[in-house]
């Protein structure tokens, strides 16, 4: 019986020592001083501007374009619409020979390295009338009110969208990075000045 009492005392003592060692280890690991814990130092770069990458789709960009046209009053006196489908579509009307003709032009967009957008005329429909695209584009240039940063070039049958000339609040600039309409991949870079 005496051996049994000693056995329990030994087991109790061993268990007690294990608990003390475990608690001590935990205190050393988690209970140490927090004075050594400091956030890493980061270098603050003195940049003139910060770049933000924006990805969008045709549906959202169509809504933005139409809002802009309405807000800036660019749809009158001759109303027109710009729609992004698999290409850029321009819808309007022309008054000629005392009649109004419905107009549809399509353009193939190309994102340029400088961040601007070039729209190359692809097709044209003006009711039953067959006129050269350069003639119709010249008429549009004279009759339609467009933003100053949209340059219609009838001779080369293209439209140059100079986003560098687009005035945004706070001198923010925008550049086209990708304008792939068939695959619905449209991205821009927003350059926000920091100074």
Q: Is the pLDDT of residue 157 over 90?
A: yes
Q: What is the pLDDT of residues 75-120, one digit of tens each?
A: 555 667 889 999 999 888 877 677 888 889 899 999 999 999 999 9
Across the beta sheet with 88-96, the strand order is 81-84, 88-96, 99-111, 117-126, 158-161, 150-153
Question: Is 1 part of any domain?
Answer: no
**36, part of any domain:** no
Q: Give the domain range for residue 113.
A: 58-162
Predicted TM-score (pTM) of this structure? 0.70
Residue 108 is assigned to a structural domain of this protein: yes
> Is 96 a member of any domain?
yes
Residue 43 in domain = no
Angle at 122 between CA 117 and CA 125, to 5 degrees: 125
**pLDDT reported for residue 98:** 79
Between 15 and 125, residue with greater pLDDT: 125
Q: Do the domain assignments include residue 107? A: yes
- As for how many domains the chain has, the answer is 1
Q: What is the pLDDT of residues 131-152, one digit of tens each?
A: 788 888 888 888 777 788 889 9
Per-residue CA distances from 60 to 66, 129, 185 (Å): 10, 34, 12
In a domain, residue 186? The reply is no
Tokens of 29: 């690991």
């Amino acid at each position: 019986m005496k051996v049994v009492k000693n056995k329990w005392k030994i087991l109790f003592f061993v268990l007690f020592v294990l608990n003390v060692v475990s608690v001590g280890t935990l205190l050393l690991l988690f209970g140490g001083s927090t004075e050594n814990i400091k956030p890493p130092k980061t270098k603050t770069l003195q940049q003139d501007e910060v770049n933000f990458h924006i990805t969008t789709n045709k549906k959202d960009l169509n809504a933005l374009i139409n809002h802009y046209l309405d807000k800036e009053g660019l749809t009158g006196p001759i109303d027109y619409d710009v729609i992004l489908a698999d290409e850029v579509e321009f819808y309007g009307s022309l008054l000629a020979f005392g009649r109004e003709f419905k107009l549809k032009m399509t353009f193939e967009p190309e994102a340029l390295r400088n961040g601007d957008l070039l729209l190359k005329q692809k097709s044209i429909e003006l009711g039953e009338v067959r006129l050269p695209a350069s003639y119709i584009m010249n008429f549009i240039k004279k009759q339609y009110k467009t933003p100053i940063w949209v340059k219609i070039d009838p001779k080369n049958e293209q439209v140059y969208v100079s986003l560098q000339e687009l005035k945004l609040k706070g001198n923010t600039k925008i550049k086209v990075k990708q304008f792939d309409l068939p695959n619905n991949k449209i991205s821009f870079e927003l350059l926000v000045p920091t100074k």
